[in-house]
Chain A
């Protein structure tokens, strides 16, 4: 085919112009993200074959799970981070899906399950059941209203401490040793010396049954008491026990009235033991034996063992007991202080109470700062009691004579004022409510 010079020049010019327009267009396309408008929903951006496993890039660092921007940002980042292998996996093959999570729900602040006062060293000891540590503050610390939080004096935290989902703090009044019991994963009691801090192993570790809740120490006899939630019992060990040492005695059986045992207090002078029960009952050896009883406080001789029935029981609607946690006794006057978790109150009973009796005092109200009070510790030396609040990462200190909507004399916060805790406590399962687009998360 013959093409004359003019026609050829025009054709070349047209071609150059077309290519130039095309390049400009492609450049604009590549630079303008508006062509893929965000929809709020996942979009397929590419299909790429994964390399052979031997050459595959290592998975993302765990820190990437903390992406906490907008969901669109997270998803966009996630889709950019790794290839989206959209092919259906065939039988015999496993496709590793290595996109990082698009969202994470967690609480980054402490959740205080338990408190104990060390009057010898003027310190307050807190058990953090969220970040898994023990935090020690000066007894006279008081977080100013405008401050974000108060820094602890010492922190015992890290994998070597074996501290996971712990509770039930007790302090040795002689040497300041810290006793802490595991509620779930660890099945032990761990003991730290007073000066412990950082990621260090406990000075003693005692194997215990599953589901510890509270502890108490009888200094006169050198014994440590531990409540076990289920199957419910009270274990009594030598105070110095460690390893797999057997208990000195066990209170357990159908006549004990123990049902989902929780808080524990002892009166060494009057030789009494008080146990809080939530009322969830069953004998795991007998099918269909489940029952729900009202919550109660059962009172025993201090040396009770085996299937001993309680001396008396505090139980009934007047008590207002509602998923109550820690208990602590003032031996000088027999006042029994109860952290009434879901009732958002401190209930004060007399140790001689029995039956359907109302508390002699109730500390409750807006001024108290109480939020899911779970732990409590009476300080008879300074005439105060301390409450650990699971609901707002704080511990509040009250006069022993406080009543009604009383303001705390001091508050130590580990989170900004007004912040509410997620109260996570081993969220083992999850369900999706498709109607409300919500996650259901049990502790």
Chain B
């Protein structure tokens, strides 16, 4: 895109409300195709991939302007590898255990310590045929983490983008490990078109998994679900707002779900107390 900024808006911002600050410029090392990012509230940092440069960047929480990252993970030991289409565009962050989790190379998950800097090896690598992890045709699976129930959740994509599933692993799983449980099937809302977001959020106190569901919706599943389990709740974003969700964040304090639409250049916020109460 023209300017791959990270713009920051007040929670109550609305139409045409200006950003409060923006990270942008060469020194930031950010690049386009940032399809996920995270805020580390424990250490007050912004964590984001630099997808075209196979890097993970950490910024001060209040960073603005052309501010360089405080740490950069990049180099041959990292094993970070993107695709021609998506680069390395997806990630999630476990602020309880201080770990960055990024999917690479379509079917592998790398885990780094948040304190890592430079050309460092991942502390864990999860991947192999038994994991059932599979990225999209030209991209990666989507990841989320539940630090309370110690689960790593992977939104895996089937062949040619069909047959999606939520795979639940022990958070510290490594190697060619089978998932503890799998949500997969025609009722799950994970298989049809228009169900993709590049982010998965977990409201760990309740064990709710929040992510894209078919039909341009946001779906909520339980970490206790398995098999052909439909979402517990669904926000039909496409019907309500005329946009397809591409990213999602949660705000438990105000009981809101924030949805980004890359396709239509906007953010919408839904009041959704059901999953937080």
Contact = CB atoms under 8 A, between A and B. Distances in A.
A441 to B, nearest CB: 5
B48 A442 contact: yes
Contacts of A442: 4-7, 30, 34, 37, 48
A104 to B, nearest CB: 5
Contacts of B271: 42, 75, 78-79, 99, 102
Interface in A96-112: 96-109
Contact of B251 (A66, A183, A425, A434): A434
Contact of B15 (A66, A85, A285, A428): A66
Given A103-B269, A104-B266, A440-B8, A89 B16 contact: no
B127 interface: no
Interface in B246-277: 246-251, 253-256, 258-274, 277
B4 A284 contact: no
Nearest to B19: A422
A86 B3 contact: no
A287 B239 contact: no
A287 B273 contact: no
A422 B7 contact: yes
A436 interface: yes
Interface string B1-30: 111111111111111111110101110011
Given A281-B53, A429-B36, A288 B80 contact: yes
Contacts of A85: 274
B156 interface: no
Interface residues of B, number: 111
A429 B260 contact: yes
Contacts of A86: 273-274, 277
Interface string A78-96: 1100001111111111111
Contact of A89 (B232, B247, B254, B273): B232
Given A94-B234, A130-B265, A288 B77 contact: yes
A2 interface: no
Contacts of A65: 240-243, 268
Contacts of A108: 15-16
B14 A68 contact: yes
B3 A443 contact: yes
Contact of B234 (A92, A96, A439): A96
Contacts of B258: 430, 432, 439
Interface in A246-303: 260, 278-282, 284-292, 294-295
B223 to A, nearest CB: 12
A435 to B, nearest CB: 6
A292 B29 contact: yes
Contact of B2 (A167, A291, A436): A167
Interface string B59-74: 0011000100000001
Interface string A100-143: 11111111110001000000000000000110000000000000
Contact of A210 (B80, B85, B199, B231): B85
Given A427-B261, A431-B46, A439-B9, A95 B37 contact: no
Given A104-B14, A390-B2, A441-B8, A230 B87 contact: yes
Given A292-B29, A438-B11, A42 B79 contact: no
A284 B259 contact: no
A425 B3 contact: yes
B153 interface: no
A317 to B, nearest CB: 10
A102 B256 contact: yes
B171 interface: no
Contacts of B260: 427-430, 441
Contact of B3 (A229, A281, A323): A323
B53 A104 contact: no
Nearest to A41: B254
Nearest to A262: B2
B78 interface: yes
Contact of A97 (B19, B66, B87, B274): B274
Contact of A424 (B41, B239, B251, B265): B265
Contacts of B44: 435
B32 A84 contact: no
A11 interface: no
Contact of A106 (B7, B15, B52, B254): B15
Closest 5 CB pairs of A and B: A290-B54, A62-B242, A429-B247, A428-B262, A106-B266
Given A286-B81, A287-B81, 8 more contacts: A62-B241, A95-B232, A97-B233, A105-B15, A108-B16, A229-B52, A423-B3, A437-B11
12 contacts: A41-B254, A85-B274, A86-B274, A91-B225, A106-B264, A282-B82, A282-B87, A288-B81, A294-B26, A429-B34, A429-B260, A438-B10
